[in-house]
Chains A and B, each alone.
Chain A
Amino acid sequence: MDQDNRVLTRRGARELSEQEVESVTGAFKTRRTLTPCFVDSKQQFLNGDQAIGECGP
């Protein structure tokens, strides 16, 4: 990753390994479908406390 022109927030972002993503998304099917922030790697979306759609653009 070229760090020179990345936003500060990306630099502080938490990296989740493939294994962590797998363990989390695997667990969604049974227990963690509702956690306050999760990435569904198969469906490729972020589900969390905020949604652009909740109040419109």
Chain B
Amino acid sequence: MKLIVLAPEDDNHTAPIKWAMEKAGQKVVCWAGLSWTDEGQSSLLMNGDDTLTLGGHSVDAGDVIWIRRPEPPVPNPKVSEADKKFASLEYRCFYHSIAYFFETLPVWCINRYSAARVMIQKAVQMQLARKCGLKTPATLMSNNPAMVREFFARENARTICKGFTPHVWQKEGKMSVAITETFELTSDQLPNDEVLTYAPAIYQERVPKEYDIRMVLMGNHIYSYALKNKKQALDWRQDAGLGHVTAELVPTPPDVEKGVLEFARQSGLCFGSLDFGVDAQGKWWFLEINEQGQFLWIDQFNREARLLEKFCAFVTAPQGSTLPLEARQDLFPSLEEYEELLKKEQVPPVGRPRQEDPFLSMEA
């Protein structure tokens, strides 16, 4: 068995996990995604036995494929201008063929591409969560001004607004930025109708939350962390970056655990990061799931979490194993050890410049 990670080697989760797995004697290879370069090339041969190669690596029975953060397909830039659009679509279609084809092979995908494609849709998540018995806030996704105003007219209800995707606006020539964040809005603060058509948005009943939960799902195993923010901010993400958040392991209520495992079963996801808000009565409200959400930061905030070791134990256990990950987590080194090496520059740095970021815009 080997772990095939679909992500650049210097992705901030791939690098420490690859390091930890290799230290424990496991084989790990990375494939950043389909591209025209030697390492980005792929072949799928269907001729009796099906064979799939990703760069220089074959996909073999028993492999685990972690579809972490593949880069979008990159056609050869030397292709004729007249053929660029066609080549780009061909690359995209071939990538999709590869990603879906994994599911036909005797390998374990984390997660299956078909499940990920569906479950990345926030509307589908909310609906399925509700069906699985999880408590969800009333939600409107719309670009229709009349519907938005009607939603805001609910009695005795507070409403938040958030985007479908994160985004950053950076001022030309400056370092200051603006980052999308969940924010509260009243009907009086709604802009004119036309603005509501500039971009669809998610309008949601404000959960009267006392604190947030970040839950990490690894197969049948669930780990929940209470995120407490000194400033009690509506959205804890930026404050986490600024170090204002604590992450404490908390038990998952049995009804929530049951709902999440049913959600995982019905969605086909075996891995993901889920967000909940907990109200004054202790009720957990499902907010969202990111099937490849960040999780190692919890190890930085709570050294006892050991999610890096748990993830390594998860991907090296048989698919569907119910044995506690804690029983095998000691086989792997910790994120703290990796960070020490990173500080001493004894492991390669993480992150790298991207040519184009879909989540970044410049503004005057």
Give complex CA distance A17, B176 in Å.
5
From B69, B161, B163, give the contact of A53 (CB < 8 A): B69
Docked complex: B142-183 residues within 8 A CB-CB of A: 161-163, 165-170, 174-183
Interface SS of chain A: mixed
> B195 interface residue, CB < 8 Å from A?
yes
Contact status A10-B169, CB under 8 Å: yes
Contact status A32-B357, CB under 8 Å: no
Contact status B175-A44, CB under 8 Å: no
Contact status B241-A7, CB under 8 Å: no
Give complex CA distance A9, B339 in Å.
36
Contact partners of B238 in chain A: CB under 8 A:
14, 16, 37
Contact status A7-B179, CB under 8 Å: no
Q: Report the stretch among B129-137, B252-260, B262-270, B294-302 that lies at the interface.
A: B294-302
Contact partners of A5 in chain B: CB under 8 A:
195, 198
Interface SS of chain B: loop
What is the minimal beta-carbon distance from A11 to any residue of chain B, in angstroms? Answer: 7
> B230 interface residue, CB < 8 Å from A?
no
Give complex CA distance A41, B175 in Å.
7
- Nearest CB to that of A3 among chain B residues? B191
Give complex CA distance A36, B247 in Å.
13
Contact partners of A10 in chain B: CB under 8 A:
169, 178, 180
Contact status B201-A57, CB under 8 Å: no
- Nearest CB to that of B15 among chain A residues? A33
What is the minimal beta-carbon distance from A37 to any residue of chain B, in angstroms? Answer: 4
Contact status B343-A30, CB under 8 Å: yes
From A16, A20, A34, give the contact of B300 (CB < 8 A): A34
> B223 interface residue, CB < 8 Å from A?
no
- Nearest CB to that of A42 among chain B residues? B353
From B198, B199, B235, B353, give the contact of A43 (CB < 8 A): B353
Contact status B95-A13, CB under 8 Å: no
Q: Which of A17, A38, A43 has the most CB of B within 10 A?
A: A38
Contact status B176-A37, CB under 8 Å: no
Contact status B166-A50, CB under 8 Å: yes
- Nearest CB to that of A41 among chain B residues? B175
What is the minimal beta-carbon distance from B23 to any residue of chain A, in angstroms? Answer: 19
What is the minimal beta-carbon distance from B54 to any residue of chain A, in angstroms? Answer: 15
Contact partners of B72 in chain A: CB under 8 A:
52-53, 56-57
> Given A32-B243, A35-B240, A45–B359 Cβ distance below 8 Å?
yes
> Given A22-B175, A33-B350, A48–B300 Cβ distance below 8 Å?
no
Contact partners of A30 in chain B: CB under 8 A:
339, 343
Contact status B360-A54, CB under 8 Å: no
Contact status A48-B198, CB under 8 Å: no
> B55 interface residue, CB < 8 Å from A?
no
Contact status A43-B354, CB under 8 Å: yes
Contact status A49-B273, CB under 8 Å: yes
Give complex CA distance A28, B237 in Å.
14
What is the minimal beta-carbon distance from B272 to any residue of chain A, in angstroms? Answer: 10
Give complex CA distance A49, B352 in Å.
17
- Nearest CB to that of A27 among chain B residues? B243
> Given A14-B238, A37-B241, A52–B358 Cβ distance below 8 Å?
yes
What is the minimal beta-carbon distance from B323 to any residue of chain A, in angstroms? Answer: 27
Contact status B178-A46, CB under 8 Å: no
Measuring CB to CB, which residues of chain B are less than 8 angstroms from any residue of chain A? 12-13, 33, 67-72, 92, 95-96, 99, 113, 116-117, 120, 161-163, 165-170, 174-183, 185, 191, 195-196, 198-199, 201, 214, 235, 237-238, 240-243, 273, 290-294, 296-297, 299-300, 339, 343, 350-354, 357-360, 363-364
Measuring CB to CB, which residues of chain A are less than 8 angstroms from any residue of chain B? 1, 5-18, 20-24, 27, 30-41, 43-57
Task: Given contacts A34-B300, A44-B170, A49-B294, list 8 more A-B pairs with CB under 8 A.
Answer: A10-B169, A12-B180, A12-B185, A37-B238, A43-B354, A45-B360, A50-B290, A56-B117
